[in-house]
Structures are given as C-alpha cells and as structure tokens.
Amino acid sequence: MSGYDTEKIQSLIGGHMDRPMVAVETGILLGDTTRKMSGMFRHVISIDIATGIVEAATTALADLKNVELILGDSAQVVPELAKSIHEPVLWYLDAHWFPGANISRENPFPLWDELDAIAARTYPDIVMVDDVHAFGRDDWGCDHPAGVVERWGELSEEAIVTRLGRVVKSLIAMDKVVCYLDDLPQPHNHIRE
C-alpha cells in the first residue's frame, strides 16, 4: 500500500542510518507525509512545483518549525540540495502529476534528474521512490493534461538501481523502491553550505 507509515519507515531506515537527520521529499500535495517526517527528522525539506500547494502547505504546516517548503521544479531543486547538504539524507521521491496539482510541461517526470543528482553524492543516503504500482505502466495516470506524458513505462526497481549506481541493497516495501547507498569518502565535514 502507498503512503507513509512512520513505524515501517523507521524500521526500513534503522541499521543503515544511525541517526537520520535530514529528509527531502519531492511533491508536497497536502503535506501529510511532510508532517509525519517532521516528527522523525531534525530537518525536513519538501518541494512542490504548484504555487497553490506550497501556499496551502505553508499554512497547514506552520506549527512545524523543522520543516522548510520550497516552491520549484524538483528536477532543478534536488540537484542544488544534493550539492549543498553534507550529511546523509533520506530522499522521498514522490513528485509527479496529480489532479488539482501542477506539473512541468518541459519535464513532466523529474525522477531521472533527481536520481542523477543523488547518484553524484558520496553519502550513505536512503532513496525511496513511491508508487511502485504504477511502474512499467505507460497507461497509468489520472486525467493528465493534454500533451503531458509521464515515463512510468521505463520505471522498475532495476532501472532505479542502475541509475543510482552506488546501491548496496534495494527492496520493495509499502509500494516503494527503497535503495540503500554506499558510504563513499567524504569531501567535506561540515553540515550545509
């Protein structure tokens, strides 16, 4: 089942990250997952391309002091964050078309750009890609705007692992592909530029 179950997510993280500190979510929508993450991580960053969604979430999540909301295309924001966060990150990748939301017409499926940016890092991150039920299905989707084509058809656990390159273990749980990344020599020892 899709969604974010805090206890199950914690059990998937335990053993790989001693103290998961930072989480980055792509796709805020109502902020449900953002709120759950805020109780688990020191700092949570969530990105959405839709102005109305970021505005509503800013109000709905105003009580959460460790949450940072960014308005932008995750295909561009994730590469910036990947370079500037100098500690392990839980990447929760869930940006795609959704009714009532918005989408980048130039790049309607930001996942591959996100994965490339994370692949270039050297930290023992965890990557979760949501909605495995849609993988391999070019026909999947809910009332896409005319002319918008997402690329679910080429998506699989194997394709994600290959794209990330430095995966030490992967599995599917809770409708997500979960990839544990290798711990490579660190070029920096500070937290964030």
Ligand X SMILES: C[S@@+](CC[C@H](N)C(=O)[O-])C[C@H]1O[C@@H](n2cnc3c(N)ncnc32)[C@H](O)[C@@H]1O
Where on the chain is the footprint of ligand X (CB under 6 A)? 4, 25-30, 32-33, 47-50, 53, 73-75, 94-96, 98, 101-104, 110
- Nearest position to ligand X, beta carbon: 27
CB of 170 to ligand X, least distance (A): 20
Burial class (CB in 10 A: 0-12, 13-18, 19+), 139: exposed
Q: Which two tokens stand for residue 23?
A: 């989480």
CB of 183 to ligand X, least distance (A): 27
CB of 53 to ligand X, least distance (A): 5
Nearest-5° Cα angle at 33, 81 to 129: 60
For ligand X, the closer of residues 4 and 180 by Cβ is 4
Rounded-to-integer distance, Cα 84 and Cα 16, Å? 22
Q: How far is CA 100 from the centre of its chain?
A: 20
b/e map 160-169, b = 16+ CB within 10 Å:
bbebbebbee
For ligand X, the closer of residues 105 and 190 by Cβ is 105
For ligand X, the closer of residues 106 and 185 by Cβ is 106
CB of 186 to ligand X, least distance (A): 28
For ligand X, the closer of residues 47 and 86 by Cβ is 47
